[in-house]
Structures are given as C-alpha cells and as structure tokens.
A = this chain, B = another copy of it.
Amino acid sequence: MPPKDVPIKPPTATSAAPTPQNTFVPSTLAALGRPDVPATIAEGDGETIDVLGVSKALDTLALGGLAGVEDLPLPVRRRVEGLKGVHVEFTKLETQYRKELYELNRKYSELYTPIFERRAAIIAGRAEPTEEEISIGESKTLEDDPDAEPLPKGDASADADKAEEDIKGVPKFWVTALKNHLDIAELITDRDEEALAYLRDVRLEYLPSSTPGYKLSFHFTPNEFFTNDVLTKTYIYEDEVDFAGDYVYSSAEGTTINWKEDKDLTKTFEVRKQRNKNTNRTRIIKRAQSTPSFFDFFAPPAPLSIDQIESHGMTEEQLEEHENRLELDYQVGEDLKDKIIPRAIDFFTGKVLDYEGDSIMSDEEDEDEEGQWEQMSAGGL
C-alpha cells in the first residue's frame, strides 16, 4: 500500500456539536455523535484487507458506522453479551474495592485529626507553635524559596510592639485560604468576606460507610451576621457506584443560617417609602431580593430527576445552568475535602498559586476558563 499523509484531525464539523453538559437522558447509540470509524478498514482504493479471515465480519464490526451491536453476526453478538456478563463480575469486585477505599479514607481522616486540632489551636491563638515547629516550618520556607527572609533572631517578644503582641493567633486565616482557591474566590463577595473573617476552622468528617458521604463543618466565632456557631454541609453519595466505578453525589444538605436582622448576605434589601393617597401617611416597604453569596453553599440546589425535568418544561439552557450549579456545588465540596482542608496553610500563603493549574484547580474549572483567568488577571498587581 503506498504511504500517504494521514491527517490526524478530522474534517471540520458541519453539524452543530453537542456540548459536554447536555446529555441528561442517555441517548441511543444511533443518535449520538460518534468518533469517525469507517464501516470497513479498507481505504479508498477498494482494497479490503482480510485481517481475521472473514471480510464480512470486518464490514459489520466497525460499530461507528452502524446502529449498534444488533448488527453484528449472531455468534459475535452472543460473545459481546457474554463479555457484558463477565463485566458484571468485575463490577462486583470493584464495589468491594470502593468500600475498602472509603474505609481507608475514613481511617486516615481520623489519623489526621490531632494534626488539624493543633492547627486550629494555633490559628485561634489557644496555643503558640513550639520552637521546633517554627524551625521545621522555616526550613520548608527556605526549601521553597532560598531567598526567603528569615524570621528575626532573638527574643521575638522583645521586638514586637504592644499592638502586635495583642493579636491572637492568625486572623483571617480561613478567609484568606478560601480566597486563594480560584473557584471559591469567585463566590465570595466583599460582604461575604466580612463574615468569613470570623471563620475559625473548617473540618471534614466521613459518614459511616452504611451511608457513604462526608460532612464539612465551618466553625465561626460569634459575629454580627448570624447566630450559628457551626454551619455544616453534608454530601451524600448514592449507595451504588456509577457506571465508571465512582461514587455518585446523590444529594447535599446545609445548615439553615439564622441571620441577624438585615444581615442576610444572600439577600439585598430595597427600602422604599410608599404614600397612601387617601390617608396621606407614608409607610416603609422593604423588599428582599436574592443576591449571589458564598453562603448559598449552605442551601445547595437539589438534583432534578428526569421526571422533574420533563414536568418543569425547562429549556436546554435552564437545564444546563442547573446542572452547572450542581457541578460547582459538588466540586467546591470535593475541593474543600481533598485540597483546602488538608493543605489550608498552602492556600493561606498562596503557595498553591505557584503551582500549575492542573494539580490545584478542580477538574471543572476549565469549563469556566474565561471567567477564571479574567479573575486571576483582574487581581494581578
């Protein structure tokens, strides 16, 4: 066969491309856009290569050009059904694997607890770091940046002025850490930031394996915004892992926030005077309107069933928006669990921002890439 140039890219699309989000209802094989698999592996010149003895088999075996498995020769179809049966055995073992993995995560989550307690105590000012902790920290700092300015030697308290001595712990630790997570930073308004300055700890707890999932607890010091000490967000997974062997987010629940008067950060209030034409008296009307806030995190969107989607008569756009909100809610939870809680100090110092996007940012962020990088550069120096 004469060598020829084979372009890697297929020709440009002529029909509208599906978007990654709009596949709510599993489509049929036939309706789905498919990678280009020609119906035979013969090329233009009419030559049919007979790889496996029977060219008819080859004609029908390239699924891409056909409606599906139904068109395979019967003996092959039986084998394909058999392979599906074999795969069921695999998924049984995989479910067992997921359970062991969940237990492993739970075990380590508990092993980490004393470390996170120590961290919380230093942040809150209930404890001071030991000289050893400080010196280990300093050597890490130098590892990361050999030019880092060392802490002044000698008795620290001698140099510090009285005001500095009065500072307890590390103020604004958590709000700073959260603001260095690019997705979360986008959710935090200036007003939210004032309330989040009172956030003194964020903790993770795995649920018992009978109801797999996890709970995030946000601990606050007393503040003028709400009366709750702790706000929690609980993510529940489905009992069964999904088709890809991963836990599926089934639902999420958050604490109802007891806002103090006029302090609800998820609302804006419009105040208007209204005069009664008959009595000529004026009254004041306050109208609340929803406004986006980080604290919406505690009132997560509910997943929609296919029935609900149909009965709501939602447009594709509305569906996509709802799905994006669910995705983001889920991803923020996962990132708090897997990234921010474990390495809060690196989020606080901004060390995370020194590393490549992929290792730090959520998988979903690329979807919102434009907004993402606008955000980054808007905050640049």
Assess whether A61 is in contact with B129, with CB atoms less than 8 Å apart: no
Q: Which of B21, B112, B129, B167 contacts A82 (CB 8 A)?
A: B129
Residue A260 interfacial (CB < 8 Å): no
Residue A306 interfacial (CB < 8 Å): no
Q: Which of B29, B157, B380 contacts A34 (CB 8 A)?
A: B380
Which residue of chain B is the closest to A71 with respect to CB atoms? Answer: B149
Residue A257 interfacial (CB < 8 Å): no
Q: Which of B15, B118, B135 contacts A377 (CB 8 A)?
A: B15
Known: A58-B171, A197-B51. A18 touches B376 (CB 8 A): yes
Residues of B with C-beta under 8 A to A303 = none
Known: A349-B63, A378-B12. A141 touches B56 (CB 8 A): no
Give A291 to B5 CA distance when docked, in angstroms: 8
Assess whether B20 is in contact with A342, with CB atoms less than 8 Å apart: no
**Nearest chain B CB to A97's CB is how many angstroms away?**
5
Residue A136 interfacial (CB < 8 Å): yes
Assess whether B37 is in contact with A128, with CB atoms less than 8 Å apart: no
The digit string for A95-138, where 1 denotes a CB below 8 A from any CB of B, is: 00100110010001001100100110011000011101111111
Residues of B with C-beta under 8 A to A76 = 164, 167, 170-171
**Nearest chain B CB to A159's CB is how many angstroms away?**
6
Known: A52-B197, A357-B21. A86 touches B104 (CB 8 A): no
Assess whether A349 is in contact with B80, with CB atoms less than 8 Å apart: yes
Q: Which of B26, B29, B64 contacts A355 (CB 8 A)?
A: B26
Assess whether B137 is in contact with A81, with CB atoms less than 8 Å apart: yes
Assess whether B11 is in contact with A172, with CB atoms less than 8 Å apart: no
Give A12 to B377 CA distance when docked, in angstroms: 9
Say which one of A202-210, A272-280, A361-369 lies at the interface with B.
A361-369
Assess whether B170 is in contact with A6, with CB atoms less than 8 Å apart: no
Assess whether B63 is in contact with A122, with CB atoms less than 8 Å apart: no
Which residue of chain B is the closest to A197 with respect to CB atoms? Answer: B51
**Nearest chain B CB to A50's CB is how many angstroms away?**
11
Q: Which of B6, B151, B193, B267 contacts A77 (CB 8 A)?
A: B151
Q: Which of B13, B75, B157 contacts A374 (CB 8 A)?
A: B13
Residues of B with C-beta under 8 A to A69 = 349
Residue contacts A-B, CB under 8 angstroms, 24 given: A3-B269, A7-B189, A18-B376, A20-B361, A21-B357, A33-B376, A34-B380, A34-B381, A54-B171, A56-B164, A61-B171, A69-B349, A76-B171, A77-B151, A80-B137, A85-B129, A86-B129, A88-B136, A93-B115, A97-B104, A100-B104, A242-B359, A243-B343, A245-B342
